[in-house]
Structure 1
Amino acid sequence: MEFTDFTESVTFDYEDSTEDYGFCRLDLNPVDVNTQTYIHSFICALGLIGNSLVIITYTFYKRTKTMTDVYLFNVAVADMIFVVALPFIIYNEQNSWVMGSVACKILGSAYSINLYSGMLLLACISGDRYIAIVQARRSFGTRSHTLIYSRLICLAVWLFAVALTLPTLMYTERYDEPNLPGENATVMCQLFFNEAETAKLMKVLVPSLQMAVGFLVPLLVMVFCYFSIVNTLLSAQSSQRHKAVRVVLAVVVVFIICHLPYNVTLLIHTVSLFKERSCDAEKTRLKVLVVSRSVAYLHCCLNPILYAFIGVRFRSHFRQILVDLWCFSKKYIYSARSSRGTSDTCIQGRVSSEGCNNMSSFTA
């Protein structure tokens, strides 16, 4: 039985479809949609809090003194772009993309920008740590002069991410997908092509770039760098070093758990695009793709925990943010007399926190 995939404007064959009129309905049922909405809302809230704290810390409390600091700040910005876009994506998916075609293109490209920039920056962090720990003797005395290079590298990463996102930006469209006769068309925001040859090229090129640049290359860099780091740390025979090893392993394991299922599913989906497949198999494959993609989204919430909050000095800055927020709120609740007393408390809290910062610099 022959069907037309309107997402790609290419004709495919689906076998054993139980749908009438020759259409294979690939939309999710309401239960799946609601579950996906709750998961994405959780990811949005957690990612917004964590990445906001990282950005606020580096903007107002902790200057970017090292290359890793510059990379972490840019990772937080990349993740923030996506978590800010996620509520609008959820809203438009449930309301037939009422915000229009421009919003469809921009929001559709948000994940691509986050994917390419975030993953490449994580690879840069692993490379910087490799140089700092494994090549410590060679890099000693020179790393303080390389801060400008880290900013240039970040600029190059952002430009590269934008360039790789251009196909998604160009071909993502808001369009009406026909349903069964007598039903209203479903409004979609996906890659859409008018020519079959363009569809065949882009439907392979875009996922391949995501898998290669957004997963495989960063994974290989991280495995090499962190494997070398672990060997160096284990040879040091120190309790602090062994704690650092556990952190390194956590970074790699979380990266693999979050991104491997989605990329494997995406690879299977891409390989099967131009093959004859049954409607039920396609429904199952797309459902697995949606679930694994949500797991990949979760990584933007975990980056602040894995790369920032673990550090002793960063945690002290985080505590200072809470103290300052408490003091700020007290000024608007109490009278001028109470505010004077609150200010003294806040000053004492800041002095205490700064003392902790100085002490933690030796243990971070």
Structure 2
Amino acid sequence: MAWTTSLSNLVLAVYGFTLITGLPANILALYTFFQKIRKRSTPMDILLLSLTISDLVFLFFLPFRMVEAAQMKWTLPYFLCPLSGFIFYSTIYNSAFHLTAISVERYLGVAFPIKYKLKRNPRNAVIAVVFFWLISFAHCSIVYIMQYHNHSNPNFTEPSKRNTCYEDFSAEQLKILLPVRLELFAVLFCAPFLICCFCYVRFIHILSNLPNINTKKRMRAIGMALGTLLVFIVCFAPYNVTHVVGYVGGYSPEWRVYALLTSTFNACLDPFIFYFSSAALRGTFSSVLREVFRRLSLLCCRSTLYCPLVNCLNSDERTQSSTDSSR
């Protein structure tokens, strides 16, 4: 892949937007789920907390990729290259696993409400979360293998002397990398996506046939289901399609960098899924928004440049009138 000014600007814009929107939303979600688990934990809360941590880890390492895009080459200490790539790809697949587990939990909750409630145990969610992290890390360790592979080749450039990060693979490296990428597509994307589709299609069908469920609650649940499927299609699918194209063609597609850009949106879209999934988070978001609007209103009324003076005076007059009436 050859960096250009337009590509650099595009990458910085997408990564910057993801960082600015995703970081505060995920920090707020982390605080909410942590407080809720301290009081009383459910499998859903544990899954959402782990997914939030995964997104925050992703966002923490995103600035390293932004520096590379800004400089149009890798200028940071080289050990950060495989580390940032390892975290970048691992958290993408880790998010896919968590979203799939959430879909299964939702489906079981409506398909078998009594039986599932009796067997529901937060410990099982903790075991699942540990498994998701381990399998994601294990599969994406290929990043380290590729970065330091082929030391015996006389044309091999020492990692510390490179100015590129996880690109420009040799033919020997591609023989190892391309089959692994195909396996990532099948096991870490296709399988979770099919499970998600089945669970949420059944979930929506069951909810649509329940006569006594609140309409607002039904629409919120359907919104969560559609939002999750949208994340898979928009965020995860383009990048994983490059695995298949690369394997069939025997090369690493140059347009992978554009497909990867959509994957980053996952970190700022997940909080919206959290919003549909958690009443506690909806309450926290509402409280924060009310406080923000209250402070903006105060600033507006104190400013003669941005707020019509008449509105502020009317507000003062109404307050004074209310006070006089109470007397």
Q: Same fold (TM over 0.5)?
A: yes
Alignment CA distance shift 1:93-1:29 (3 Å):
closer
Please give the per-residue CA displacement for 1:268-296, whole angstroms capped at 9, x wherever unaligned: 1332125xxxxxxx9xx523x22221112
Contact 1:105 1:170 in 2 (8 A): no
Partner of 1:305: 272
Question: Residue 68 of structure 1 corresponds to which residue in structure 2?
Answer: 44
Contact 2:8 2:69 in 1 (8 A): no
- 1:1-364 alignment, distance < 5 Å: 26-60=1-35, 63=38, 65-95=41-71, 96-143=73-120, 146-172=121-147, 187-190=163-166, 196-197=171-172, 199-237=173-211, 238=213, 239-240=215-216, 242-243=218-219, 244-274=221-251, 286-287=254-255, 289-308=256-275, 311-320=278-287
Distance 1:257 1:192, change over 3 A: closer
Percent identity reads 23
2-side partners of 1:120 and 1:246: how far apart? Answer: 19
Counterpart residue type for residue 293 of structure 1: L
What is the deviation of 1:150?
Answer: 0.9
Measure, in 2, the Cα distance between the counterparts of 1:45 and 1:34. Answer: 16
Distance 1:223 1:46 in 2: 27
Tell me how far apart the structure 1 counterparts of residues 250 and 122 of structure 2 sit (CA, whole Å): 45
Q: Is the 8 A contact 1:105 1:169 kept in 2?
A: yes
Aligned partners of 1:100 and 1:253: how far apart in 2? 36
Counterpart CA distance in 2 for 1:321 and 1:246 is 22
3-state SS in 2 of match to 1:98? coil
Q: Give the CA deviation at 1:94.
A: 3.4
What's the C-alpha RMSD, in Å, of the aligned pairs?
2.9
Deviations 1:61-99 (A, max 9, x none): 564621011001111111111111111111134333222
Amino acid at match of 1:86: L
Tell me if the contact between 1:173 and 1:190 (Cα under 8 Å) persists in the aligned partners.
no
Number of residue pairs the alignment of both structures matches? 278
List runs of 5+ in structure 1 lacking aligned partners: 1-25, 175-184, 275-281, 327-364
Q: Is the 8 A contact 2:110 2:203 kept in 1?
A: yes
CA distance in 2, matches of 1:250, 1:78: 18
Q: What secondary structure does 2:34 align onto?
A: helix
Do the aligned partners of residues 93 and 190 (structure 1) sit closer, same or farther apart at CA in structure 2, a change above 3 Å counting?
A: same
Distance 2:222 2:47 in 1: 21
Contact 1:48-1:83 within 8 A present in 2 as well: yes
- The 1:254/1:193 distance shift into structure 2, 3 A limit, reads closer
Give the 3 Å change call, closer, same or farther, for CA 247–115 of structure 1 in structure 2: closer
SS in 1 for 2:74: coil
Distance 1:33 1:191, change over 3 A: closer
Report deviation, 1:111: 1.4
What is the CA distance between 1:319 and its match in structure 2? 4.0
Structure number having the greater strand percentage: 1
Return the alpha-carbon distance in structure 1 between the equivalents of residues 76 and 52 of structure 2: 27
Once the two structures are TM-superposed, the CA of residue 302 in structure 1 deviates from its matched residue by 0.2
**Structure 1, 248-257 or 42-51: larger mean CA deviation:** 248-257
- Structure that is richer in helix per residue: 2
| CA distance in 1 between partners of 2:13 and 2:169 (Å) | 32
Once the two structures are TM-superposed, the CA of residue 318 in structure 1 deviates from its matched residue by: 3.1
Between the aligned partners of 2:179 and 2:48, the Cα distance in structure 1 is 29
Q: Cα offset for 1:118?
A: 1.3
Change (3 A) 1:75 1:159: same
- Distance in structure 2 (CA, Å) of the matches to 1:142 and 1:69: 16
| Cα shift at 1:36 | 1.6
TM-score if structure 2 supplies the norm length?
Answer: 0.76
State the distance in 2 between where 1:93 and 1:186 align.
16
| Structure 1 residue matching 2:141: 3-state secondary structure | helix
Q: Equivalent residue of 2:41, what SS?
A: coil
